[in-house]
């Protein structure tokens, strides 16, 4: 199985996401609306970021183009 790693600034929060898997449930994928289609034809996977005063942020990356 081919995997891609979403690089999170906190190395403890890295997850292995499966390239092309529309049912990916790693990190913030699954019931949170990810992965999402990217304009390049790949899938955008997401990992949970940190809590901030305004809520939280997500770290996202396409498994094809890297955006």
- The domain of 39 spans 3-62
56 located within any domain: yes
Note the pLDDT of residue 39.
Answer: 97
**Number of domains present in the structure of the chain:** 1
Residue-level pLDDT at 12: 73
10-59 tens-digit pLDDT: 777 777 888 899 999 988 899 889 999 999 999 999 987 766 677 677 88
Q: List Cβ<8 Å contacts ≥24 apart for 39-46.
A: 40/64, 40/65, 40/67, 43/19, 45/4, 45/6, 45/17, 46/6
Tell whether the model's pLDDT for residue 6 goes beyond 90: no
- Residue-level pLDDT at 17: 87
Q: What is the pTM of this model?
A: 0.78
In a domain, 67, yes or no: no
In a domain, 38, yes or no: yes
Per the domain annotation, does 32 fall within a domain? Answer: yes
At residue 52, the pLDDT reads 67
């Amino acid at each position: 199985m081919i995997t891609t790693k979403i690089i999170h600034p906190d190395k403890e929060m890295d997850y292995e996401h499966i390239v092309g898997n529309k049912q990916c449930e790693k990190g913030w994928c699954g019931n949170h609306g990810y992965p999402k289609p990217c304009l390049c034809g790949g899938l955008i996977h997401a990992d949970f970021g940190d809590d901030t005063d305004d809520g939280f942020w997500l770290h996202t990356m396409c498994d094809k183009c890297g955006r």
